[in-house]
Chain A
Amino acid sequence: MSMDRRDFLKLAGASTLVGLGGLSVFDGFVKDGALASQAHTAPGASAGKRLAMVIDVSKFKSPDDYKRVSYACHSIHNVPSIDNLKHEIKWIWTDTYEHVFPGQADQYMAENIMRLPFPVLCNHCAKPPCVRVCPTKATFKRKSDGVVMMDYHRCIGCRFCMAACPFGARSFNWTDPRPYIRKLNTSFPTRTKGVVEKCNFCAERLSAGLQPACVEASNGALVFGDLHDPSSEVREILSSRYAIRRKPNLGTGPSIYYVIGGNEHA
């Protein structure tokens, strides 16, 4: 967000009165005098950082590589292991190409790509619909680095954010999660029943100067950095490799990029 909070509230209030529902709705129109496009999803490029991740799927060699990444995240964040798929809670997991990029699959596509698991997580969108709809600001976007965060103590469990997220990134605690936590990490809060949760880009590790846990566990398959810094590693990769994002046409501005590559890049 390039405006300060007071301006935001004022304009958001006014725009909601005419039935539009929030400043971010206008962003795309005012910024470049043109429609928001896939290419322009970082309003106010100068305002703080915009943390992002590039995932090079070709660097995942075995099922263990994927497991290590999600285990790194789920174990330190006290994410419960619930077998009932309906009540499942997940911050980072995998799915295949046709599910991660719906509408992009093609029957003649290389089979190894069709079968390849893609890690998926919250996209820490530049214009996150989950933040726009939350009635309590329990989900909010941190101005300093663009991380979309949650206040578990404020969330009322209305699940509007789950309906709004086009990436299925959010989980709800349908019951008390604590009995399902395999090994408790006492330095990170557990959640209570009735609240939503999702990937927090390891905000607690970032503040300690560390990289996100998944990045650390990925053997270089996940690269993390600031999109607003031209010399960052993520920018370097993006300027030299062909990378795609999930559903960029929705204009939410996902900050997770995928480099598919082929065996030749391995």
Chain B
Amino acid sequence: MLEKALTGNRGYWVWIFILLAIIGVGFINYLEQFKTGLGITGMSRDVSWGFYIAQFTFLVGVAASAVMLVIPYYLHNFKKFGKIIILGEFLAVSAVSMCILFIFVDLGQPTRILNVMLHPTPNSILFWDMIVLNGYLFLNIIIGWTTLGADRKGLPAPKWVKPLIYLSIPWAVSIHTVTAFLYAGLPGREFWLTAIMAARFLASAFAAGPALLILLCFIVRKYTRFDPGKEAIQAVGKIVAYAMIANVFFLGLEFFTAFYSQIPGHMHSFVYLYVGLGGHSELVFLMWISAIFSVVSLILLIFPKLRQNERTLSMACVTVFIALWIDKGFGLVIGGFVPNPLERVTGYFPTAPELLISLGVWAVGFLVLTVLYKVVVSVTQEATTLEH
């Protein structure tokens, strides 16, 4: 089926080449990082994880969100998701590929990555994260590919994928839970040491992922003859609404605990993120954008009239996505490092090469996504032409 990605109109190829060019720029910058070391990034002794790990964390959420389609479709027989579900699964494939790449570009000694397998260490959460991420990648590739292949022939999906589909549900929850555990189990990092970390991760994942999916559906519908279905999109919109409400609620809980208890260690990171601390306020502007966008998105999502209008729905999705991208893709990770364990403040902002490498990783993700969606669109079009 992959050959379907090799034929396309001019727009398709222009897009592919744009992505390849961005990947090229990212790769050149990565070579420089490989040569000189991670010193070309904005990270430091105090803020020892930065944009890469934050992007990874955010994208795990996007990947996990496929489950929000799988549950209604396979467990509740919600047939309207029949066409959209493959888009969700392939979005997960693309997101997990980016996750793995972001971890890779963050390593100081990437050539030694196999050490994680050669010296398996079950007490390290990173070890489990590697297992669940790779497992989730394969599950979604296998499920997506076989169901699509069956669709192409007009047959129901083979029986053996069913158990895999069911398995993918708890597995999706696991990737985000395990990723939350990377942070939530560390003594002395008060900002992360919170029991609702995994719950917060899941809520934000189930908002950001489906929001992106809706936007992708609009794009696919606009440029191809593939229609995921209006009702399906509306149903996903409701999912985004509930998840975003839960996410903002959870964030509120964190604020309450920190500021009502008045425990300095619990307040410091929030203060750094939202007003600045010790003369450092690198992320304040972004965090406020995130806060404002969250409120705007809630208004657009909660009122049914606004949600049902596809124009405002797409605005809601854009604001949800940006709000959560800032919150998870910046604030959550950086905030945990400021102030440092000796209560000294070192600021952080990604450097140009760091951003270009990240952009390159995103471009790889979009390339994977484009190719997979192209196959989906061509295969379904072929199938409908056969029917007629």
Give Cα distance in the complex from A196 to B189, angstroms: 19
Q: Interface SS of chain A: helix, strand, loop or mixed?
A: loop
- Whether the Cβ atoms of B126 and A194 lie closer than 8 Å is no
Query: Is A99 within 8 A of B343, CB to CB?
Result: yes
Interface residues as binary, A230-257 with B (CB distance below 8 Å gives 1, 0 otherwise): 0000000000000000010011100000
A-B contact pairs, 18 of them (CB 8 A): A13-B122, A19-B181, A85-B45, A95-B342, A99-B342, A99-B344, A134-B124, A135-B126, A136-B121, A156-B113, A157-B38, A157-B107, A163-B48, A167-B342, A174-B38, A193-B36, A193-B37, A193-B108
Choose among B113, B130, B342, B344 the residue with the greatest number of A CB atoms under 10 Å from its CB. B342
A13, B265: Cα distance in complex, Å: 32
A154 pairs with B119, CB closer than 8 A: yes
Mask of B180-195 contacts with A, CB within 8 angstroms, 1/0: 0111011111000000
- In the assembled complex, the CB of A33 is this many whole angstroms from the nearest CB of chain B, namely 22
A168/B112 in contact, CB under 8 A: no
Partner of A9, one of B112, B122, B265, B340: B122
Residues of B within 8 A of A (CB): 36-39, 43-46, 48-49, 103, 106-110, 112-113, 115-116, 118-119, 121-128, 130, 177, 181-183, 185-189, 264-265, 336-337, 340-344, 346
Q: Is the CB of A162 within 8 A of B48?
A: yes
Contact B49 A194 (CB under 8 A): no
Which residues from chain A contact B121 at a C-beta distance below 8 Å? 134-137
Chain A residues near B44 (CB-CB < 8 A) = 85-87, 174
Cβ of A158 under 8 Å from chain B: yes
Q: Does A71 contact B (CB under 8 A)?
A: no
Q: Which residues of A contact B38 (CB under 8 A)?
A: 157, 172, 174, 193-194
Query: Which residues does chain A contribute within 8 Å of B36, judged by CB atoms?
Result: 175-176, 193
**Are A98 and B189 in touch, CB under 8 angstroms?**
no
Q: How far does the alpha carbon of A95 sit from the alpha carbon of B341 in the complex, in Å?
A: 12
- Asked if A190 lies at the interface with its beta carbon under 8 angstroms from chain B, I say no
A165: B residues at CB distance < 8 A = 188, 341
Q: Are B108 and A159 in contact (CB under 8 A)?
A: yes
Given pairs A163-B186, A194-B107, 10 additional interface contacts (CB within 8 A): A12-B122, A103-B265, A134-B121, A134-B124, A157-B108, A164-B187, A166-B188, A171-B45, A172-B45, A193-B37
Say yes or no: A88 contacts B45, CB within 8 Å.
yes
B37 adjacent to A159 (CB under 8 Å): no
Interchain CA distance A98-B342 in the complex, whole Å: 8
Q: How far is the CA of A260 from the CA of B188 in the complex (A)?
A: 23
- A86 with B115, Cβ < 8 A, contacts A12-B122, A136-B121 known: no
* Binary per-residue interface labels of chain A (186-197) against chain B in the complex, 1 for a CB within 8 Å, 0 otherwise: 000000111110
A168-B340, A250-B188 are contacts. A136–B119 as well, Cβ < 8 Å? Answer: yes
A43 at the interface (CB under 8 A from B): no
Let me know if A102 is at the binding interface, CB within 8 A: yes
Contacts of A135 in B (CB 8 A): 115-116, 121, 124, 126-127, 130
Kindly state whether residue A22 has any CB partner on chain B within 8 Å.
yes
Residue in chain A with minimal CB distance to B112: A156
Query: Is there an interface contact between A102 and B343, defined as CB atoms closer than 8 Å?
Result: yes
Residues from chain B with a CB closer than 8 A to the CB of A160 are 124, 126, 182
Q: With an 8 A cutoff between CB atoms, is A173 at the interface?
A: yes
Q: Is B336 in contact with A163, judged by CB distance below 8 angstroms?
A: yes
Taking the closest CB of chain A, its distance from the CB of B266, in whole angstroms, is 11
Bound-complex Cα distance A158 to B124 (A): 12
* CA of A174 to CA of B264, assembled, Å: 31
Assuming the contacts A100-B342, A102-B343, A176-B37, asked whether A133 and B186 have C-beta atoms less than 8 A apart, the reply is: yes
Task: Point out the residues of chain A lying under 8 angstroms from B123, CB to CB.
Answer: 12, 16, 21-24, 132-133
Task: List A contacts of B106 (CB < 8 A).
Answer: 158-159
Known interface pairs A102-B265, A137-B119; A156-B343 also in contact (CB < 8 Å): no
Q: Enumerate chain B residues within 8 angstroms of A120, measured Cβ to Cβ.
A: 342
Query: B-facing mask of A140-167, CB < 8 A → 1, else 0?
Result: 0000000000000011111110111111
Cβ of A138 under 8 Å from chain B: yes
Within 8 Å CB of A171, what residues of B? 45
Q: Are B125 and A133 in contact (CB under 8 A)?
A: yes
Which listed residue (B39, B107, B119, B346) contacts A158, Cβ 8 A? B107
Residues of A within 8 A of B39 (CB): 87, 174-175, 193
* A80 at interface by CB-CB < 8 Å: no
Neighbouring B residues of A134 by C-beta, 8 Å: 121, 124
Interface status of A119 (Cβ within 8 A of chain B)? no
User: Is B109 touching A156 in the complex (CB atoms < 8 A)?
Assistant: yes
CB A24 to nearest CB in B, in angstroms, measures 8
Assess the B187–A251 pair: CB atoms within 8 A: yes
Chain A residues, CB < 8 A from B177 = 19
Q: Which residue of A lies closest to B37 (CB)?
A: A193
- Look across to chain B and name the residue whose beta carbon is closest to the beta carbon of A157: B108
Q: In the assembled complex, how far is the CB of residue A107 from the closest CB belonging to chain B, in whole angstroms?
A: 14
Nearest B-chain residue to A249, judged by Cβ: B187
Is A212's beta carbon under 8 Å from chain B? no
Task: Flag if B187 contacts A129 (CB, 8 Å).
Answer: yes
Contact B264 A166 (CB under 8 A): no
Contact of B126 with A86 in the complex, beta carbons under 8 Å: no
* Nearest Cβ on chain A to B382's Cβ, whole angstroms: 44
Q: Which 4 A-B pairs have the closest CB atoms?
A: A157-B108, A166-B188, A194-B108, A22-B123
Q: How far is the CA of A251 from the CA of B36 in the complex (A)?
A: 38
